[in-house]
């Protein structure tokens, strides 16, 4: 038996709260990136890139290049926020600050701590997505009110990336070695998930690889919500992300437990 259901209760919210309180102490810093990042991209692609490539064909419609990448920016921010939270930040809490050791002297279970870390990373991702959405919406890149669905979608996607991040935290020997999953997993996803160009531009053999990336599916769903356009079956993308989340939540539980129980 991998998980004993008795070890998981709503107590995990207390750990989530602890992260929220810490986050609030530096919330101004935490809000600067999602606020400025979309502005930076709009400036770069809307102004600098405009002469080279003004429109792009996506799902049978002709849209501006900036409108094409705007939803992908939010999806990418969701990935980065959740993944970096459960890798670097969780590792610091686990290894350097021994926060989890302290918690394990209380009625909290290891499972609750792990679940709380993942849920927290998704919360942080959703908060960043909300701010970006407001900025992008102000420039007319979001369809309202459908665009509000981006917030629950960001949370949903955040769970997937938070879980896979915590899985890496469970197996990585030192904090420097996070470079490896970032180079092999995050960066290729960032570039080849239909973020900056449609996947159909990739050579045929590479297209199925892109379909395996969770970010690809999150980008597809984000475009559906922001633009009302889609080139894949949205339900399949939702199912894929759900399955990905379940698998990596289980893996995170197994490997983090192995690491924390001495």
Partner 1 sequence: MADIIEVQHLCKRFGEVTAVDGISFTVGAGEFFGLLGPNGAGKTTTIRMLYGFSPPSRGVIRVFGMDISRDWRRIKARIGVCQQDNTLDPDLTVEQNLILFAGYFSIPRREARARAAELLDFFALANRRSAKVMDLSGGMIRRLTLARALINRPELLILDEPTTGLDPQSRHQVWDRLEKLKASGLSVVLTTHYMEEASRLCDRLIIVDHGKILVDGSPEELTLRHVGRSVIEIGGPDQALRDYLKAHEIAHDDLGQRLLLYTPDGNEISTAVRDNFCHDQCTFRSGSLEDVFLRLTGRELRE
Binding site for partner 1 (CB under 8 A): 11, 14-15, 17-18, 21-22, 25, 97-99, 101-109, 261-262
Of the pair 104, 175, the CB lying nearest partner 1 is at 104
Of the pair 74, 103, the CB lying nearest partner 1 is at 103
61 has which bridge partners?
Answer: 58
- Describe the crossing of helices 214-227 and 65-84 by its angle, rounded to 10 degrees: 130
Give DSSP secondary structure letters for 51-119. TT--EEEETTEEEEHHHHHHHHHHHHHHHHHHHHIIIIIHHIIIIIS-HHHHHTTTT--HHHHHHHHHH
Of the pair 109, 193, the CB lying nearest partner 1 is at 109
Of the pair 103, 215, the CB lying nearest partner 1 is at 103
Q: How far is the CB of 105 from partner 1 (least distance, A)?
A: 4
Q: How far is the CB of 151 from partner 1 (least distance, A)?
A: 26
Half-sphere exposure of residue 50: CA atoms within 13 angstroms, side-chain side:
6
Spatial contact of 253 and 166, defined as CB atoms under 8 Å apart? no
Q: How far is the CB of 165 from partner 1 (least distance, A)?
A: 20
Q: How far is the CB of 126 from partner 1 (least distance, A)?
A: 22
């Amino acid at each position: 038996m991998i998980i004993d259901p008795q070890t998981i209760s709503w107590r995990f919210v207390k750990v989530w709260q602890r992260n929220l309180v810490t986050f609030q102490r530096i919330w101004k810093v935490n809000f600067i990136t999602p606020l400025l990042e979309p502005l930076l991209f709009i400036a770069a692609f809307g102004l600098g890139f405009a002469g080279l490539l003004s429109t792009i064909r996506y799902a049978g419609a002709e849209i501006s290049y900036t409108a094409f990448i705007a939803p992908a920016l939010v999806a990418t921010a969701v990935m980065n926020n959740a993944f970096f939270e459960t890798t670097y930040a969780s590792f610091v809490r686990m290894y350097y600050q021994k926060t989890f050791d302290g918690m394990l002297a209380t009625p909290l279970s290891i499972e609750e701590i792990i679940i709380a870390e993942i849920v927290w990373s998704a919360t942080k991702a959703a908060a960043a997505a909300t701010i970006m959405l407001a900025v992008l919406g102000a420039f007319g890149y979001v369809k309202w009110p459908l665009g509000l669905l981006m917030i629950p979608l960001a949370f949903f996607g955040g769970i997937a990336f938070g879980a896979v991040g915590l899985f890496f935290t469970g197996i990585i020997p030192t904090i420097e070695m996070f470079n490896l999953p970032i180079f092999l997993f995050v960066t290729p996803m960032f570039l080849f998930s239909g973020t900056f160009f449609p996947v159909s531009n990739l050579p045929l053999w590479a297209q199925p690889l892109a379909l395996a990336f969770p970010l690809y599916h999150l980008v597809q769903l984000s475009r559906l919500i922001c633009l009302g356009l889609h080139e894949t079956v949205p339900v399949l993308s939702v199912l894929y992300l759900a399955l990905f989340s379940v698998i990596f939540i289980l893996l995170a539980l197994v490997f983090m437990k192995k690491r924390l129980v001495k």
